Amino acid sequence: MAFGLPCMNYFNHRSAELYAEDVAVRDLVRDLGTPLYIYSARTLRRHFRVMREAFRDTEVLVCFAMKALSNLSVLKLFADLGSGFDIVSGGELMRCMRAGADPRKIVFSGVGKTDEEIEAALRAGILMINAESRPELGRISAVAGRLGIQAPVSLRVNPDLDPGTHPHISTGHRDSKFGIPLAEVDHYYAEARTLPNLELVGLSTHIGSQITELAPFNEAADKVASIVKRLRANGIALKYLDLGGGLGIPYQEEPPPPSAYAHTLTGPLRDSGLKLIIEPGRVLVGNAGILVTRVLYVKETDAKRFIVIDGAMNDLIRPVLYEAYHEIRPVVARDGARILTADVVGPVCESGDFFARERDLPEVQSGDLLAVMSAGAYGFVMASNYNSRPRPAEVIVSGSNYLVVRERDTFEDIVRNEKLLAIPPGPDA
Ligand code: LLP
């Protein structure tokens, strides 16, 4: 395999001990506590290069889907590598601009952009807005008119296919809220052409996330290729074709490597003459991050064994939200440990607060550290303060150094925007 497998990463056991690059995870925990998100800079850089290299025969702009991991320092790392960004909100725009992103490499996706967000994106001079509905096109036109500029716009097409992934992260089916219907694409372009202050520069699509087969990508590329041809025949010449993100990572199943993914996407589009944009999120950052937690208690009932850890669904919600599998490893492996079946659960007061169910794991004791692997994508970014728990710290390791890129929340952070007011008695008091 020319570019290696996507599962390649720099979290490895050296004899009994888990390392992040050249730093022992135990040392990071000693300094920073748990739960702790740890990212490997070398893995992040590697994955970006592998993805770009996979498309080396095509002119491609890689726009990191920053929703997957939006820490400012991670964004800067990608911006420094030349990455563009796929954003979905005004907040994401501000984040990536603060991190030094080139606005000419930003695409703005999402089904519900506000006037303020559209205006901010146009003022920043982003590459294009991926519009998803008639009313949205009208709004973009109006905002651009007010600013006295031409808004670069692409239309997001819903290719009506089944990407074979969890329903919550499947976006390319006709029942989904995303994109414009396949049958109406020509209409939309014709209509959009008549609106003032719009420059129709592209076509985009995104069919879903954690896709582990090539067939759905192939189907999407085929459908999009035929639309582009038809549009060109009707005098609509575009510049950019944005094929979204979605390539899966090996949580459990083995996804195709980026080289095969690139081949699948570019095949049908070879003669389109358009510049390709991709929006990978998970595949760039997923296994570049782990979440380290400490075992609080091992609790045995007559039904089950529970490993109660100090990480919870507020820190990583993927297991309960998507029935997602994350490998769990002891940070320090014990020689000859028995393998026991257990549920790995957090302290939050919900039965949905688990990281693993009926999992075979080496026997652990209170105080041991467990690493939840492949937690870099949609991990910290989906964390909350539920149960008034502080969100974890985030640290990036590079070689034998590490940098804390986000402090753990303090109690004051949690209550920062709240007011402690005496509510005046109402009429029924
Ligand atoms: N582009 C668009 C327009 C998207 O909506 C997404 C993800 C991506 C790109 C990046 O997709 P990726 O390469 O990461 O698959 N929270 C869920 C995943 C939600 C994905 C949402 N959209 C999870 O934890 O699995």
User: What digits encode the pLDDT tens for the residues 228-275?
Assistant: 999 999 999 999 999 999 999 999 989 999 999 999 999 888 888 899
- Contact 245 CB / ligand 1 (< 6 Å): yes
pLDDT at 163: 84
Q: Which atom of ligand 1 is nearest to the CA of 156?
A: 3
Q: Does residue 66's CB lie within 6 angstroms of at least one atom of ligand 1?
A: no
Is residue 349 part of the annotated active site? The answer reads: yes
CATH at residue 407: 2.40.37.10
Q: Is the CB of 169 under 6 A from ligand 1?
A: yes
User: What distance in angstroms lies between residue 243's CA and the mean position of ligand 1's atoms?
Assistant: 12
Q: Is the CB–ligand 1 distance for residue 144 below 6 Å? A: no
Helices (H) and strands (E) in the chain — how many of each? Answer: 12, 21
Nearest to 108 by CA among 91, 124, 85: 85
Pair (255, 328) in one structural domain:
no
Q: Give yes or no for residue 204 CB within 6 A of ligand 1.
A: no
Distance CA 248, CA 255 (A): 6
Q: Give the Å distance between the CA of 38 and the centre of ligand 1.
A: 21
140 and 193 belong to one structural domain: yes
State pLDDT tens for residues 9-47.
999 999 999 999 999 999 999 999 999 999 999 999 999
- Shared domain for 111 and 185, answered yes or no, is yes
As a whole-number percent, the residues of the chain with pLDDT over 90 amount to: 89
Q: Is residue 304 part of a domain?
A: yes
Cβ neighbourhood burial of 422 (10 Å; 0-12, 13-18, 19+): exposed
Please report the atom of ligand 1 found closest to the CA of residue 210: 15
Which atom of ligand 1 is least distant from the CA of 382? 16
Q: Is residue 136 part of a domain?
A: yes
Final residue belonging to a domain, choices 258, 283, 308: 283
Note the pLDDT of residue 175.
81
Q: What DSSP character marks residue 368?
A: -
Average pLDDT, the chain: 95
- The per-residue pLDDT for 7 is 58
The string of pLDDT tens digits covering residues 377-386 is 999 999 999 9
d(CA 360, CA 342) in angstroms, rounded, equals 6
Cβ(313)–Cβ(322) below 8 Å: no
Residue where one domain finishes, among candidates 283, 304, 326: 283
Residue nearest to ligand 1 atom 8, measured at CA: 245
Half-sphere exposure of 83 toward its Cβ, with a 13 Å CA cutoff? 32
* Cβ of residue 246 lying under 6 Å from some atom of ligand 1: yes
Spell 313-346 as b/e; 16+ CB within 10 A means b: bbbbbbbbebebbbbbbbbbeeeeeeeeebbbbb
Domain-located, residue 5: no
State whether 228 and 314 are in the same domain. no
How many A from CA of 249 to the centre of ligand 1?
12
> How far apart are the C-alpha atoms of 351 and 353, rounded to whole Å?
5
Q: Are residues 217 and 256 in the same domain?
A: yes
Full domain range(s) for residue 342: 11-39+286-415
Same domain, yes or no: 35 and 83: no
Last residue of a domain, one of 283, 305, 327: 283
In a domain, 325, yes or no: yes
- For the stretch 86-128, pLDDT in tens is 999 999 999 999 999 999 999 999 999 999 999 999 999 999 9
For residues 400 and 316, state if they share a domain.
yes
How many domains does the structure of the chain reveal? 2
Instruction: Find the DSSP H helices in 90-133.
Output: 90-98, 115-124
Helices (H), 154-236: 185-194, 215-233
As a whole number, mean pLDDT of residues 301-313 equals 97
Q: Do residue 48 and residue 34 come from a single domain?
A: no
CB 210 near ligand 1, within 6 Å: yes
In a domain, 4, yes or no: no
Q: Are residues 20 and 111 both part of a single domain?
A: no
Please check whether residues 74 and 184 belong to one and the same domain.
yes
Considering the domain architecture, whether residues 154 and 247 belong to the same structural domain is answered as yes
Cβ(178) to ligand 1 under 6 A?
no
In a domain, 178, yes or no: yes
CATH of the domain at 117: 3.20.20.10
Question: Residue 200: inside a domain, yes or no?
Answer: yes
Ligand 1 centroid, distance to 300 Cα (angstroms):
38
Query: Is 81 within the bounds of a domain?
Result: yes
Q: How confident is the model at residue 6 (pLDDT cuts 50, 70, 90)?
A: very low
Same domain, 158 and 186: yes
Distance 176 CA to ligand 1 centre (A): 14
Q: State the distance from the centre of ligand 1 to the C-alpha of 380, rounded, in angstroms.
A: 14
Assign residue 387 a region: left if phi > 0, alpha if psi is -120 to 50, beta otherwise?
left
